[in-house]
């Protein structure tokens, strides 16, 4: 009888211990100061593809490597969408002739995992990646390592399993027949287009974004196709989100108006990325690079606007090719340029491990995990980005000047405080001797050699570069 009486008390005791442990785990993250403008001056951002980062494709496997990622100078981790993926119209292949998993033989359908961007619930975790507690451990490890975490948010559409399709069909764009449609002028048939004329939908979207700030302590959002969402929504949503805590907002967009006032902190340097590809292929010249820099940094954007510079990302790798395919032997030069230009450089999962295959987008795949040339290089240049004032790229960016040089060369000068950096590059097919219009003693960042500038001409090989620091 006593045992029976003790049983409920024992259950309550165990339950309270489990609850206390769970709450302790949730709140045991080292307190990290809110992200600040000074963090943005020196940050490298890392795009994490959890599915493909490891053989298991889980949060836990990624969390174990956060200290390694920190070595690359990373201060912000952008997690590709972590939410459950819709089963209805789950994609198996991409492009205009794309197919759904359901169109394949039943025994093959399970291997098609669908697009991360076909979200079925904005407030849940994709069970393929682990549990909510696993996600919390990832946040804790990142914060313990002084790294902020932002979620990839998909505001333009949902998957076809999202509860709003049943409870609130007016949240979606409909055709003349009243049928909900996928985003116009796209092949994104696995998602339903959201109707931003509906104020209730906007409020529901903001509430779901707030959930992750209030309950899980995330540090901001990368917003998918942000330019396709009305700017008026961002003008309403972002101040509400910032009222919760200071967050970092990245827009997958180029439009300058999205960086106005207190809206997004950073946008994509899309034109710059396309230019890097064209420089590698010989379809653009050094003069094109100079014109781009003048147009971008002195005309299109304001001085305190921040752009994300990149040689690869999930879309580029999967659909347009690896960095080796697109940039050949010029990868290091163009990567260096992405760090030297004002803004924030991006590393995509696998780039640090010399990834040289296109990661599958709708199926399980995996990146290599052997450190080689790229890891060592990104570690070295990441340290320079983190520590050298003349590479500051945020709202108080180091100054940028294009120095006079031969037609096929580009010399950039960046200065902040008492620090000066020169980036000297040759985009021709021939070795060139050039005179650098500067004077003084510099250190070659790559070789660590001391160099006197201003006395003699400098020889620089085809598609070679130098980063000189003073």
- Calculate the alpha carbon distances from 375 to 276, 335, 355, 456 in Å: 21, 12, 11, 34
- Calculate the alpha carbon distances from 19 to 60, 136, 138, 392 in Å: 21, 15, 20, 45
Q: Under DSSP, is residue 249 helix (H, G, I), strand (E, B) or coil? A: strand
Cβ(15)–Cβ(315) below 8 Å: no
pLDDT (tens digit, 9 = 90+) per residue, 374-396? 999 999 999 999 999 999 999 99
Write out the H or E segment, with its range, that includes residue 413. strand 409-416
Q: What is the pLDDT of residue 30?
A: 61
pLDDT exceeds cutoff 80 at 445: yes
pLDDT exceeds cutoff 90 at 323: yes
pLDDT (tens digit, 9 = 90+) per residue, 27-55? 444 689 999 999 999 999 999 999 999 99
Rounded (5°) CA angle 116-326-348: 40
pTM score of the predicted model: 0.93
Q: What is the pLDDT of residue 8?
A: 42
Q: What is the pLDDT of residue 24?
A: 40
Strands of the 409-416 sheet, one edge to the other: 399-403, 409-416, 419-426, 465-469, 440-444, 450-453
pLDDT (tens digit, 9 = 90+) per residue, 188-243? 999 999 999 999 999 999 999 999 999 999 999 999 999 999 999 999 999 999 99
Segments of 232-356 assigned E as strands = 248-251, 266-268, 306-309, 344-348
């Amino acid at each position: 009888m006593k045992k029976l009486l003790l049983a409920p008390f024992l259950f309550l005791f165990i339950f309270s211990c489990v609850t206390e442990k769970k709450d302790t785990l949730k709140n045991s993250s080292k307190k990290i100061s809110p992200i600040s403008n000074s963090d943005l001056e020196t940050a490298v951002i890392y795009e994490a593809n959890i599915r493909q980062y490891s053989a298991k494709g889980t949060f836990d496997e990624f969390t174990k490597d956060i200290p390694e990622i920190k070595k690359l100078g990373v201060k912000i981790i952008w997690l590709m969408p972590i939410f459950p993926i819709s089963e209805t119209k789950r994609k198996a292949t991409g492009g205009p002739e794309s197919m759904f998993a359901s169109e394949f033989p039943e025994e093959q359908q399970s291997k098609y995992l669908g697009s991360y961007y076909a979200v079925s619930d904005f407030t849940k975790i994709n069970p393929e990646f682990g549990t909510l507690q696993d996600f919390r451990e990832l946040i804790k490890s990142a914060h313990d390592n002084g790294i902020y975490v932002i979620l990839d948010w998909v505001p333009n559409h949902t998957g076809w399993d999202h509860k709003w399709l049943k409870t609130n069909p007016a949240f979606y764009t409909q055709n003349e027949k009243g049928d909900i449609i996928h985003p116009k002028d796209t092949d994104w048939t696995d998602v339903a287009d959201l109707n931003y004329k509906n104020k209730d939908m906007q409020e529901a979207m903001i509430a779901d974004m707030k959930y992750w700030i209030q309950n899980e302590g995330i540090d901001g959002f990368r917003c998918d196709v942000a330019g396709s969402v009305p700017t008026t929504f961002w003008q309403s949503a972002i101040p509400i989100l910032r009222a919760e805590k200071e967050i970092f907002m990245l827009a997958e967009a180029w439009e300058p108006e999205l960086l106005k006032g207190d809206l997004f902190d950073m946008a994509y340097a899309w034109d710059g990325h396309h230019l890097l590809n064209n420089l590698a292929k010989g379809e653009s010249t050094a003069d094109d690079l100079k014109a781009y820099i003048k147009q971008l940094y002195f005309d299109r954007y304001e001085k305190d606007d921040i752009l994300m510079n990149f040689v690869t990302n999930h879309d580029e790798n999967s659909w347009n090719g690896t960095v080796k395919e697109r940039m050949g032997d010029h990868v290091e030069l163009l990567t260096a340029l992405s760090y030297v230009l004002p803004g924030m450089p991006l590393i995509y999962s696998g780039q640090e491990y010399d990834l040289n295959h296109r990661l599958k987008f709708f199926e399980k795949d995996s990146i290599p995990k052997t450190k080689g040339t790229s890891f060592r290089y990104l570690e070295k240049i990441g340290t320079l980005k983190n520590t050298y004032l003349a590479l500051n790229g945020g709202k108080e960016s180091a100054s940028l000047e294009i120095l006079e040089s031969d037609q096929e060369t580009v010399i950039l000068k960046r200065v902040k405080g008492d620090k000066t950096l020169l980036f000297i590059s040759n985009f021709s097919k021939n070795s060139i001797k050039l005179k650098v219009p500067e004077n003084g003693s510099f250190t070659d960042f790559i070789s660590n050699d001391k160099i006197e500038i201003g006395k003699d001409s400098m020889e620089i090989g085809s598609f070679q570069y130098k980063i000189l620091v003073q």
